[in-house]
Chain A
Amino acid sequence: MVLVLIPSLLAAQTGGRGRFEVEAATLGEALRALPIADLLFDERGELRPLVNPFVDKSLERDLTTPLQAHSEVRVVAAIAGG
């Protein structure tokens, strides 16, 4: 199982849940398995430009990035000015 951590703004959209354990072989599968996937991907299915996923503390925007059995994925909103 892969552990996925999401920021508090997104956790508020899931009733306060910020940690998810999902079955996923790739980063894209892990993100799309979340109940807030529509907030991470735009209507064309593209990862939104200011959503930055980290896999085991390394920024990865390639959705085909393979995950290991105990990988940790952390979703971080990009710092965009201010």
Chain B
Amino acid sequence: MSVLLPVGTRKGLFLLRGDESRRSWEVEGPLLKGWEVFHATVDPRDGALYVAANNFVYGATVQRSDDLGKTWERSEQLAMPDGQEPLKRMWHVEPGHPSQPATLWAGGDPHVLFRSDDGGATWEPNRALLEHSTRDRWQPGFGGPCLHSIQLDPTDARRLYVGISAAGVFRSDDGGESWTPANKGTAADFMEDDKFPEVGQCVHKVLVHPARPDRLWQQNHCGVYRSDDRGESWERLEGNGLPSGFGFPIALDPGDPDVAYVVPEDGAEGRVTAGGRLGVYRTTDGGASWELHMDGLPARAWTAVKREGLAYDDGGVYLGTQSGSVFALATGDGGWVDAAAQLPEILSVEAAEWSSS
């Protein structure tokens, strides 16, 4: 199957189309010129393309295209409830469970989760998170107080997870009616007193494995983690081959729950790729060990891959850098291939099935 990568950038949206081998690529764009596309994704249920798009003059939006970017429909204005800080940015759009075909979720700043039950036309903020008993202990991350990760359990439409900076991971078992902090074992090394608080962790990205949904992976400000019990507890993993536990994105392999990919940075102060190279590290043993996997990537690089900048599907892994390059690695193949270069700063990459016929 061919692949479509919606690539969100600081200056618009690009669509990359790759063939089955992931070696031949075509680039279309920019679409939505003038918009910072924090995240773009294709809804696998109906093929609609959604973006979380922000503009420093005109505000935060979610927009939908039913013709892959030729025309767009903007959602009705998103709003925080009275008494809350106003909405600043939208960060992520997540299509809902297959059993709820009109439902989508979206995350934004300040610390907000929205739900739509009409295909993204209108959105309502999730009250349980806004009124969460721990909310007064949530801090902004370096990128602001954003809700950036939304993950569904494919086997249970009522279970979902969110990752919030810097509040941590939260799980709901009742469709968002209530939320439980899921941070046990994840560190907050930047805290002066309690290094393992109930909330306040700086999660950078959390993913559920699609074929083994009790298993979660997390790239955190303070390490790489895996949970095998739906976030009840976490094991720290990076002391065995990774140059640094600090990074933003993480990617998985849908066919093997023991595989994960990370792109370590040299630390919270420098925030460039570790060791002066664009190093992608892969584990094939559940995080017990990690190996550098950068055949085809530039040998010298001081760039970074943002939290949404790494994507995966059945056919491979795809990464987009802050320097505007996109690289693709076909599953089972030896090396990375240039898919695009000299794009604007890349904020997000996702992967969707696409047919040229």
Residue numbers of A with Cβ under 8 A of B are 9-10, 12-13, 15, 38-40, 42-44, 48, 50-51, 77-78, 80
**Which chain A positions have C-beta within 8 A of B129?**
none
Interface residues of B in 148-193 (CB under 8 A from A): none
Residue in contact with B56 in the complex, picked from A10, A38, A50, CB distance below 8 Å: A50
**Which chain B positions have C-beta within 8 A of A9?**
33-35, 55, 58
What are 6 A-to-B residue pairs whose CB atoms are below 8 Å? A9-B33, A12-B34, A39-B58, A42-B86, A77-B58, A78-B57
Chain B, interface SS category: loop
Contact B74 A48 (CB under 8 A): no
**Which chain B positions have C-beta within 8 A of A80?**
56-57
Residue in contact with A43 in the complex, picked from B34, B56, B72, B77, CB distance below 8 Å: B77
- Given contacts A43-B78, A43-B79, A77-B57, whether A12 and B33 have CB atoms under 8 Å apart is yes
Q: B80's closest neighbor in chain A, by CB?
A: A43
**Which chain A positions have C-beta within 8 A of B61?**
39
Distance of B75 from chain A, by nearest CB (Å): 9
Distance of A74 from chain B, by nearest CB (Å): 15
Give the 9 A-B residue pairs with the shortest CB-CB distance, closest first. A43-B79, A38-B77, A39-B58, A9-B34, A50-B57, A77-B57, A43-B86, A43-B77, A43-B87
Interface residues of B in 22-73 (CB under 8 A from A): 32-35, 55-59, 61, 71-72
Residue in contact with A42 in the complex, picked from B34, B56, B59, CB distance below 8 Å: B59
Contact A15 B56 (CB under 8 A): no
Distance of A38 from chain B, by nearest CB (Å): 4
Distance of B147 from chain A, by nearest CB (Å): 17
Distance of A78 from chain B, by nearest CB (Å): 7
Total residues of chain B contacting the partner, CB 8 A: 20
State A40–B71 Cα separation when bound (angstroms).
Answer: 21
Residue in contact with A48 in the complex, picked from B57, B71, B76, CB distance below 8 Å: B57
17 further A-B pairs in the complex, CB-CB below 8 A; given A39-B58, A43-B78, A78-B57? A9-B33, A9-B34, A9-B55, A13-B74, A15-B71, A38-B59, A39-B55, A39-B59, A40-B58, A43-B79, A43-B80, A43-B87, A48-B57, A50-B56, A77-B57, A77-B58, A80-B57
- Given contacts A43-B79, A43-B87, A44-B86, whether A13 and B72 have CB atoms under 8 Å apart is yes
**Which chain A positions have C-beta within 8 A of B34?**
9, 12
**Which chain A positions have C-beta within 8 A of B57?**
48, 50-51, 77-78, 80
Interface residues of B in 70-109 (CB under 8 A from A): 71-72, 74, 76-80, 86-87
**Which chain A positions have C-beta within 8 A of B59?**
38-39, 42, 48
**Which chain A positions have C-beta within 8 A of B56?**
50, 80
State A42–B88 Cα separation when bound (angstroms).
Answer: 10
Distance of A8 from chain B, by nearest CB (Å): 8
State A50–B77 Cα separation when bound (angstroms).
Answer: 18
Contact A10 B77 (CB under 8 A): no
Distance of B35 from chain A, by nearest CB (Å): 8
Residue in contact with B74 in the complex, picked from A38, A44, A50, CB distance below 8 Å: A38
Interface residues of B in 131-147 (CB under 8 A from A): none
Q: B31's closest neighbor in chain A, by CB?
A: A12
**Which chain B positions have C-beta within 8 A of A43?**
77-80, 86-87
**Which chain B positions have C-beta within 8 A of A77?**
57-58
Distance of B51 from chain A, by nearest CB (Å): 12
Distance of A56 from chain B, by nearest CB (Å): 22
**Which chain B positions have C-beta within 8 A of A78?**
57
State A40–B87 Cα separation when bound (angstroms).
Answer: 14
State A77–B57 Cα separation when bound (angstroms).
Answer: 7
Distance of B29 from chain A, by nearest CB (Å): 14
**Which chain B positions have C-beta within 8 A of A50?**
56-57
State A9–B12 Cα separation when bound (angstroms).
Answer: 11
Distance of B338 from chain A, by nearest CB (Å): 30
Q: A41's closest neighbor in chain B, by CB?
A: B77
**Which chain A positions have C-beta within 8 A of B55?**
9, 39
Q: A15's closest neighbor in chain B, by CB?
A: B71
Contact A10 B86 (CB under 8 A): no
